[in-house]
Amino acid sequence: MASEGVQLRAAGVPVTLADGTERRLRFTLDSLLEIEEECGSLLDYLDGIGGGFRRGKTLTALVAGLAAGLRHDRTVTKDLVKALVMQVMGQRGQWGVLQGYVTALDEAWEQAVPRAEARDAGDPKGSSSAANGSPGQISSVASSASSESVPATSGA
């Protein structure tokens, strides 16, 4: 279990799920271990979430990231996350919702895994995603799948 200090430092990112509920997406050591197990490695997760639908296992990474980032909320299960993602995918023009999820995942990742240079410089938030090895360009996930989008629902 992650220490209280780690949980407080990574406060998380608010995200509104497809069912209308707002939750806090937060990565802890346990959630990173869950992603690693689900995706094979953290780099495979980043490749999947950042590669768009034409590359990688985007849906696997999206569901793994959401489920892991919401694992602290005992009411959210992986099956619920899958159902919510499928609900969004079944609605024409709702790709912006997935993009909101991806944006929230990126922000939560940067909180949990700040760049070493930023930590050394005293910047607790980190720096650019691409140099961080974080999803960074994951906002391209929705746009590479469809040009239709609606405003993202991340509460950030």
pLDDT category of residue 62 using cuts at 50, 70 and 90: very high
Tell me what pLDDT residue 117 has: 59
* pLDDT over threshold 80, residue 82: yes
Between these two residues, 3 and 45, which has the higher pLDDT value?
Answer: 45
Q: Within a domain: residue 7? A: no
Q: pLDDT tens-digit profile of 84-131? A: 888 888 877 677 888 888 899 999 999 888 776 555 555 554 443 433
Tell me what pLDDT residue 3 has: 52
Q: Within a domain: residue 9? A: no
**3-class secondary structure, 143:** helix
Q: Within a domain: residue 8? A: no
Q: Within a domain: residue 47? A: yes
* pLDDT over threshold 90, residue 41: yes
DSSP state of 122: T
Q: Within a domain: residue 53? A: yes
Q: What is the mean pLDDT of the chain?
A: 74
Q: Within a domain: residue 14? A: no
Give mean pLDDT, residues 2-10: 51
Give mean pLDDT, residues 15-32: 89
* pLDDT over threshold 60, residue 76: yes
* pLDDT over threshold 80, residue 69: yes
**Please, which residues have CB within 8 angstroms of residue 147's CB and are 6 or more apart in sequence?**
none
**Please, which residues have CB within 8 angstroms of residue 5's CB and are 6 or more apart in sequence?**
none
pLDDT category of residue 156 using cuts at 50, 70 and 90: very low
| Structural domains of the chain, count | 1
- Residue 23, beta-bridge partner list: 15
Q: Within a domain: residue 98? A: yes
Give mean pLDDT, residues 70-92: 88
Q: What's the Cα-to-Cα distance from 144 to each of 12, 22, 49, 52, 141, rounded to whole Å?
A: 26, 26, 12, 6, 5
Tell me what pLDDT residue 126 has: 44
Q: Within a domain: residue 3? A: no
Other beta carbons within 10 Å of 95: 23
Q: What is the pTM of this model?
A: 0.70
Domain span at residue 29? 23-145
